[in-house]
C-alpha cells in the first residue's frame, strides 16, 4: 500500500508542478516581460527540472538532451538560439513589411528576425501557443547553460580548448570536409557530454540545404549566449507585446476565419444544406473521395491502401496533383487561411460528385439534401474552442441571424496512447480536462466495432485533454492510465471542441440539439514507452492506414445519415 501511495504522490507533485508553471506563465504574460535565466524565470526552470517530461529526455541530467533539442528546434524559428531578445506579438502587420517570415518546419507560425539580436514570434492561436513556446524556450535555455558550465573554466570567462576549436569552425567562412567535420564533432561531443556516435547520428537531422553545419552553429550560439549571460550579465529577455496582451482571448482571428467560410457558403447557396464539419488533415477526405476517380489506372495495379501511401509521400507530386486537380474541378473549394489562425479549410459540395460514398441511394437524393462537408485543418489547444465556437455561431446578413444546418461534427486527430503503440486507434467516450475534474461525456457515433477487424488495435475509454503534451511525465501518465477515469490516451483539443459543441447545441441552440459527434484518434506515440515518445520521430507510413480507416468510417456515416 505504501508503494502505491508514494507513486500517486509523485503524480500529484507533477500535476502541481504543471499547474504552478501555467500560473507563472500567465503571471509573466500579464507582467509583460521576464528574464528566463533570471529570478523571474526560476519557477519555470524548477518546474521543468522537477517534472522531467518524457519529451525532454535527459533535461535534468548534466549531459545534453539531443532528441529533445531536435524536437524543440523543429517547432521554433531558425536562428532563435542567436537572439537575446524574443518578442511574442499578435498579428501586427509584419506580413506587409520587408521582414521575411520564418516558419518552423513542424509548427506553422510566422516569425520575423528583426535584427541580429531580436526574434519576433507571431501568436495567433491563443494561450496554448504561448505555453508551448515558453516551455520549449525554457528547455532551450536550460540546455544552453549546460553547455556553458562545461566550457567556462574560471570566473573571468576563460573557455576550454573544445570550445575554442568549435568556435573556430563556426566562425570560419570556408566549407569543411568530412575529416574537419569529424574533428569538430569530437569537440562538440565533449562539450555536450555525449559520445561521438550519438553526436554524429543526430548531426544530419539538423542539417538544411542552406546550412549543412547547422548543428554545430546551434550548439555554438546556445553556448555563446549562455556564456555572455553568466560572465557579462547580458540576460536574455522574453517580452509580450501590448497588442498581444490586449487581444488575447477575444476570438479576433477565429471570428475572421469563421466569417470567411460562412461568406463562401452563402455565396454558393450552401448554408441551408446538411453541413458536416470534420477536423482533420488536408488530404485524407479529398483523397478518399477523389483518388478512386482520378487514379483509375493505378488502382487496377495496386490496392487502395498502397494508393493512399503513395499519396502520402511528398515525392509523388504528379499523382497528388492529379487528385487535387480533379477535386478542385469536381466540388471541392480550398479556402486558404488569411486570418492568422493557420487553419486552412476545404469545402466539399457533394452534389457535384458523380457518386456518393458507399450509399446506393445517393444519386436519387435531391441536390439540396446532399451533404456539404467542411474540413478544417488541425487547431492547436485552446484554439479549438475559439474556432469551433465561432464556426457554429449563426451568420448575420443585413441584421438577420441565419443558423447553420450543422448535422455532425467529427474530430480526427493524433494522440498519445497509454496502452499500445504508434498507429493504434482510440475511440473516446468522454474528454477530461487535465488538472481539473471537468469532464465532457458524449455519445460517440463511432464505436470500437466500426474500426475493428482491419489489423489495427482499437481501444476505447476516456481521453485526457492536456494543457501541453510537452509537460507530461511518466508519473502523471501512469496515474492517468491506472486511475478509475479509464483513460486510454491524451491530446490537446478534445475538451475544447466538445465545450464549443455542447454550448452551441445545448445552451445557445444555434445548431440542432441532436447534432452527431464523432471522435477518433490514432496514436502518434506512446509517451509511457522510452523511445516511443513524440521526440523519437514521426509516424512515417504507420499513420496512413489508421488515418484512412477513420476517414472512410466518418464519410460512410455522413453519406448514410
Choose the weakest-confidence range: 14-18, 133-137, 430-434.
14-18
**What pLDDT is stored for residue 540 in this prediction?**
58
CATH fold, domain 249-560, is Rossmann fold (3.40.50)
**What pLDDT is stored for residue 44 in this prediction?**
93
Choose the weakest-confidence range: 134-143, 230-239, 284-293, 295-304.
295-304
Q: What is the pLDDT of residues 466-490, one digit of tens each?
A: 988 778 888 888 888 888 888 999 9
Packed helices 214-231 and 127-151: angle between N→C axes, nearest 10 degrees? 80
Q: How many CB atoms lie within 10 A of CB 414?
A: 23
360 CB-near residues (< 8 Å, 6+ apart): none
CA distance 114 to 515: 47
Q: How many CB atoms lie within 10 A of CB 68?
A: 24
Q: What is the pLDDT of residues 418-460, one digit of tens each?
A: 888 889 999 999 999 987 789 999 999 999 999 999 999 999 9
Strand order in the sheet with 237-240: 33-34, 237-240, 85-89, 118-122, 111-113
Q: What is the pLDDT of residues 81-103, one digit of tens each?
A: 999 999 999 999 998 999 999 99
CA distance 313 to 377: 19
CA distance 338 to 111: 16
- pLDDT range class, residue 530, cuts 50, 70, 90: low
303 vs 213, more confident: 213
pLDDT (average), residues 489-514:
96
Find where cell 498579428 sits: 91
**What pLDDT is stored for residue 468 in this prediction?**
84
**What pLDDT is stored for residue 17 in this prediction?**
86
359 burial (CB, 10 Å; 0-12 / 13-18 / 19+) is middle
**What pLDDT is stored for residue 368 in this prediction?**
94
27 CB-near residues (< 8 Å, 6+ apart): none
pLDDT (average), residues 253-279:
95
Diameter of the chain by CA atoms? 84
CA distance 509 to 499: 14
Q: What is the pLDDT of residues 361-398, one digit of tens each?
A: 898 899 999 999 999 999 999 999 999 999 999 998 88
**What pLDDT is stored for residue 314 in this prediction?**
84
Q: Tell me the three state secondary structure of residue 113.
A: strand
Choose the weakest-confidence range: 108-122, 261-275, 346-360, 520-534.
520-534
Most confident among 18-27, 244-253, 508-517 (mean pLDDT):
508-517
pTM of the model: 0.86
- pLDDT at residue 5 greater than cutoff 60: no
- pLDDT range class, residue 538, cuts 50, 70, 90: low
Measured at the CA of 331, the angle between CA 326 and CA 332, to 5 degrees, comes to 80
What are the b/e assignments for 458-493, b being 16+ CB within 10 Å? bbbbbbbbbbbbbbbbbbbbbbbbeeebebbbbbbb
Percent of the chain predicted with pLDDT > 90: 74
CA distance 259 to 281: 21
- pLDDT range class, residue 3, cuts 50, 70, 90: very low
CA distance 437 to 434: 8
pLDDT (average), residues 317-342:
94
- pLDDT range class, residue 532, cuts 50, 70, 90: low
- pLDDT at residue 2 greater than cutoff 50: no
364-368 long-range contacts, CB within 8 A, separation 24+: 368/272, 368/273
Q: Between the CA of residue 305 and those of 124, 323, 359, 436, what are the distances in Å?
A: 36, 15, 21, 41
**What pLDDT is stored for residue 31 in this prediction?**
94
CA distance 68 to 146: 14
Cell (9 digits) for 529: 514507452
- pLDDT at residue 79 greater than cutoff 80: yes
Q: How far is CA 223 from the centre of its chain?
A: 28
pLDDT (average), residues 520-526:
90
Q: Tell me the three state secondary structure of residue 330.
A: coil
Q: Tell me the three state secondary structure of residue 42.
A: helix
Choose the weakest-confidence range: 213-217, 354-358, 516-520.
354-358
What are the boundaries of each domain within the chain? 10-245, 249-560
- pLDDT at residue 268 greater than cutoff 70: yes
The strand ranges marked E within 55-110 are 85-89
**What pLDDT is stored for residue 173 in this prediction?**
83
| Contact assessment for residue 7 and residue 481, using Cβ atoms and an 8 Å cutoff | no
**What pLDDT is stored for residue 249 in this prediction?**
77
**What pLDDT is stored for residue 451 in this prediction?**
96
**What pLDDT is stored for residue 1 in this prediction?**
41
Packed helices 544-559 and 304-312: angle between N→C axes, nearest 10 degrees? 110
- pLDDT at residue 142 greater than cutoff 70: yes
Amino acid at each position: 500500500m505504501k508503494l502505491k501511495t508514494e507513486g500517486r504522490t509523485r503524480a500529484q507533485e507533477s500535476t502541481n508542478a504543471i499547474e504552478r508553471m501555467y500560473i507563472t506563465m500567465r503571471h509573466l504574460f500579464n507582467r509583460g516581460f521576464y528574464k528566463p535565466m533570471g529570478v523571474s524565470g526560476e519557477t519555470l526552470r524548477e518546474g521543468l527540472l522537477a517534472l522531467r517530461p518524457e519529451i525532454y529526455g535527459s533535461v535534468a541530467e548534466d549531459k545534453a538532451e539531443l532528441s529533445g533539442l531536435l524536437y524543440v528546434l523543429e517547432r521554433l524559428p531558425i536562428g532563435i538560439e542567436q537572439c537575446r531578445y524574443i518578442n511574442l506579438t499578435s498579428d501586427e502587420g509584419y506580413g506587409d513589411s520587408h521582414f521575411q517570415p520564418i516558419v518552423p518546419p513542424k509548427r506553422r507560425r510566422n516569425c520575423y528576425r528583426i535584427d541580429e539580436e531580436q526574434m519576433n514570434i507571431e501568436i495567433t492561436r491563443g494561450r496554448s501557443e504561448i505555453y508551448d513556446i515558453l516551455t520549449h524556450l525554457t528547455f532551450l535555455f536550460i540546455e544552453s547553460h549546460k553547455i556553458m558550465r562545461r566550457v567556462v573554466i574560471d570566473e573571468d570567462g576563460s573557455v576550454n580548448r573544445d570550445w575554442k576549436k568549435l568556435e573556430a569552425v563556426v566562425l570560419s567562412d570556408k566549407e569543411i570536409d568530412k575529416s574537419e567535420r569529424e574533428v569538430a564533432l569530437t569537440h562538440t561531443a565533449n562539450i555536450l557530454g555525449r559520445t561521438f556516435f550519438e553526436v554524429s547520428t543526430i548531426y544530419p537531422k539538423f542539417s538544411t540545404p542552406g546550412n549543412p553545419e547547422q548543428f554545430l552553429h546551434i550548439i555554438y550560439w546556445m553556448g555563446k549566449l549562455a556564456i555572455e549571460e553568466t560572465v557579462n550579465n547580458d540576460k536574455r529577455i522574453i517580452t509580450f507585446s501590448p497588442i498581444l496582451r490586449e487581444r488575447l482571448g477575444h476570438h479576433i482571428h477565429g471570428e475572421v476565419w469563421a466569417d470567411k467560410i460562412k461568406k463562401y457558403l452563402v455565396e454558393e447557396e450552401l448554408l441551408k444544406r446538411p453541413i458536416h464539419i470534420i477536423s482533420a488533415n488536408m488530404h485524407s477526405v479529398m483523397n478518399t473521395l477523389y483518388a478512386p476517380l482520378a487514379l483509375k489506372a493505378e488502382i487496377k495495379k495496386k490496392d487502395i491502401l498502397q494508393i493512399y501511401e503513395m499519396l502520402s509521400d511528398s515525392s509523388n507530386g504528379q499523382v497528388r496533383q492529379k487528385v487535387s486537380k480533379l477535386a478542385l474541378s469536381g466540388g471541392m473549394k480550398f479556402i486558404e487561411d488569411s486570418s492568422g489562425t493557420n487553419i486552412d479549410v476545404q469545402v466539399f459540395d457533394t452534389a457535384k460528385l458523380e457518386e456518393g460514398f458507399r450509399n446506393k441511394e445517393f444519386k436519387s437524393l435531391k441536390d439540396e439534401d446532399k451533404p456539404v462537408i467542411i474540413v478544417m485543418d488541425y487547431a492547436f489547444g485552446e484554439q479549438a474552442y475559439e474556432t469551433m465556437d465561432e464556426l457554429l455561431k449563426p451568420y448575420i446578413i443585413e441584421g438577420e441571424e441565419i443558423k447553420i444546418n450543422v448535422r455532425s461534427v467529427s474530430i480526427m486527430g493524433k494522440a498519445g496512447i497509454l496502452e499500445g503503440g504508434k498507429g493504434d486507434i482510440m475511440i473516446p467516450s468522454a474528454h477530461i480536462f487535465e488538472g481539473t475534474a471537468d469532464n465532457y461525456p458524449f455519445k460517440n457515433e463511432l464505436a470500437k466495432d466500426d474500426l475493428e477487424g482491419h489489423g489495427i488495435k482499437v481501444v476505447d475509454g476516456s481521453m485526457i485533454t492536456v494543457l501541453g503534451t510537452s509537460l507530461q511525465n511518466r508519473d502523471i501518465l501512469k496515474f492517468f492510465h491506472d486511475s478509475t477515469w479509464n483513460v486510454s490516451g491524451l491530446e490537446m483539443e478534445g475538451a475544447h471542441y466538445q465545450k464549443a459543441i455542447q454550448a452551441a447545441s445545448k445552451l445557445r441552440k444555434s445548431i440542432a440539439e441532436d447534432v452527431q459527434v464523432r471522435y477518433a484518434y490514432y496514436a502518434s506515440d506512446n509517451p509511457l514507452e522510452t523511445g516511443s515518445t513524440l521526440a523519437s520521430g514521426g509516424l512515417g507510413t504507420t499513420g496512413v492506414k489508421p488515418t484512412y480507416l477513420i476517414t472512410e468510417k466518418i464519410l460512410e456515416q455522413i453519406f448514410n445519415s
